[in-house]
Amino acid sequence: MSPQVRRVAMLSAHTSPLAQPGNGDAGGMNVYVLELARRLAACSVAVEIFTRATSSEQPPVVEALPGVLVRHVPAGPFEGLGKQDLPAQMCAFVRDVLRAEATRPVGWFDAIHSHYWLSGQVGQVARDRWGVPLIHSMHTMAKVKNASLAAGDSAEPAGRVAGEQELVEVADRLIANTADEATQMVELYGADPARVEVVHPGVDLERFRPQERAAARAALGLPQDQDVILFAGRIQPLKAPDVVLEAAARLMASGRRERTTVAIVGGPSGSGLDRPTALLDLAAGLGIADRARFVPPVAQDELALWYAAASIVCVPSYNESFGLVAIEAQACGTPVVAANVGGLATAVCDGVTGVLVDGHDPADYAAAFATLLDRPERYASMSAAAIRHASRFGWDVTAERTLSVYADAVAEMQALPTAIGQ
Check residue 54 and give its pLDDT.
77
Is the model's pTM score more than 0.75? yes
Neighbouring residues of 303: CB distance < 8 A, sequence distance ≥ 6: 22, 232, 265, 328
Question: Nearest 5°: CA angle at 233, between 230 and 236?
Answer: 115
Q: What mean pLDDT is reported for the chain?
A: 90
pLDDT tens digit sequence for 127-161: 999 999 999 999 999 999 999 888 778 899 999 99
CA-CA-CA-CA torsion sign (174, 177, 183, 184): negative
Amino acid of residue 89:
Q
What residues form the annotated binding site for UDP-N-acetyl-alpha-D-glucosamine? 20-21, 28, 234, 239, 298, 320, 328
pLDDT beyond 80 at 90: no
Q: At what angle do helices 241-251 and 278-286 cross, to 10 degrees?
A: 20
Check residue 23 and give its pLDDT.
57
Distance CA 221, CA 165 (A): 48
What residues form the annotated binding site for 1D-myo-inositol 3-phosphate? 14, 25-30, 83, 116, 140, 160
Q: What percentage of the chain reaches a pLDDT higher than 90?
A: 74
Check residue 88 and give its pLDDT.
59
pLDDT beyond 90 at 273: no
Nearest CA-CA partner of 139 in 174, 91, 189, 186: 174
pLDDT tens digit sequence for 353-372: 999 999 999 999 999 999 99
For residues 368 and 355, the answer to whether their CB atoms sit within 8 Å is yes
Distance CA 212, CA 198 (A): 35
> Please, what are the domains in the chain?
7-202+395-413 (3.40.50.2000), 213-391 (3.40.50.2000)
pLDDT beyond 60 at 418: no
CA 217 to chain centre: 26
pLDDT beyond 80 at 14: no
pLDDT tens digit sequence for 211-242: 999 999 999 999 999 999 999 998 989 999 99
pLDDT beyond 90 at 83: no
Distance CA 94, CA 390 (A): 38
pLDDT beyond 80 at 210: yes
pLDDT beyond 50 at 422: no
Cα–Cα separations (whole angstroms), residue 321 to 300, 317, 345: 21, 10, 10
When comparing pLDDT for 6 and 17, which is higher? 6
Instruction: Grade residue 270 by pLDDT with cuts at 50, 70 and 90.
Output: low
Instruction: Grade residue 19 by pLDDT with cuts at 50, 70 and 90.
Output: confident
In angstroms, what is the C-alpha Rg of the chain? Answer: 22
Instruction: Grade residue 77 by pLDDT with cuts at 50, 70 and 90.
Output: low
What residues form the annotated binding site for Mg(2+)? 307, 310, 334
What residues form the annotated binding site? 14, 20-21, 25-30, 83, 116, 140, 160, 234, 239, 298, 307, 310, 320, 328, 334
Distance CA 60, CA 73 (A): 7
Check residue 188 and give its pLDDT.
97
27-31, 253-257, 387-391: which range is least confident on average?
A: 27-31
Instruction: Grade residue 26 by pLDDT with cuts at 50, 70 and 90.
Output: low
Check residue 421 and give its pLDDT.
40
pLDDT tens digit sequence for 170-206: 999 999 999 999 999 999 999 999 999 999 999 999 9
